[in-house]
Amino acid sequence: MDQPLKSPGQSALDDAFHRLFDLSRSEPAPTLEQRLDRLARLRAVVADNEARFEAAISADFGHRSSVETLFAESMFMLGEIKHTARHLKKWMAPRRVATALQFMPAKNRLIPQPLGVVGIIAPWNYPLQLTLAPAVGAIAAGNRVMIKPSELVPRFSALLKEAISAKFDVGEMVVTGIEEEIAKSFASLPFDHLIFTGSTRVGRLVAEAAGRNLTPITLELGGKSPAIVDRSADLAEAAERIAYGKLLNAGQTCIAPDYALVPEGLVQDFADKVQASMRTMFGTSPDNKDYTSVVSDRHYARLESLVTDAAAKGARIMQVAKPDDPAWKSKRKFPPTLVVGATADMTIMQEEIFGPLLPVIGYKDAAEPISYINRHDRPLALYWFGKDDAARDEVLARTVSGGVTVNDCLFHFAQINQPMGGVGASGTGAYHGEWGFDTLSKLKPVFYRSPFNRLADLYPPYGAKIARMEKLLRFLS
Known catalytic residues? 220, 254
Q: Is residue 328 within 8 Å of 286, Cβ to Cβ?
A: yes
Closest CA to 386 of 248, 225, 241: 241
* H helix and E strand count, the chain: 17, 16
Amino acid letter, 270: F
Closest CA to 258 of 224, 220, 229, 228: 224
What count of Cα atoms within 13 Å lies in the side-chain half-sphere of residue 314? 7
**CA dihedral (373, 374, 375, 378) positive or negative:** positive
Closest CA to 286 of 328, 336, 235, 315: 328
- Judged by phi (left if over 0) then psi (alpha if -120 to 50, else beta), residue 250 lies in left
Number of Cβ atoms within 10 Å of the Cβ of 292? 28
Calculated CA dihedral for residues 161, 166, 169, 172, nearest 10 degrees = -50
Residue 402 CA to residue 359 CA, distance in Å, equals 21
Residue 264 CA to residue 361 CA, distance in Å, equals 8
Q: Check whether the bond before 461 is cis (ω within 30° of 0).
A: yes
Residue 291 CA to residue 151 CA, distance in Å, equals 23
Backbone angles phi, psi at 373, to 5 degrees: -65, -40
Name 6's Cβ contacts closer than 8 Å, sequence gap at least 6: 14
Residue 299 CA to residue 183 CA, distance in Å, equals 20
DSSP labels for 366-435? Answer: THHHHHHHHTSPPPS-EEEE-S-HHHHHHHHHH---S-EEESSSSGGGG-TTS-B---GGGEE--BSHHH
Residue 105 CA to residue 102 CA, distance in Å, equals 9
Residue 129 CA to residue 364 CA, distance in Å, equals 40
Q: 296-320 as b/e, with b when 16 or more CB fall inside 10 Å?
A: eeebbebbbebbebbeeeebeebbb
The pairing of strands 144-148 and 117-121 is parallel
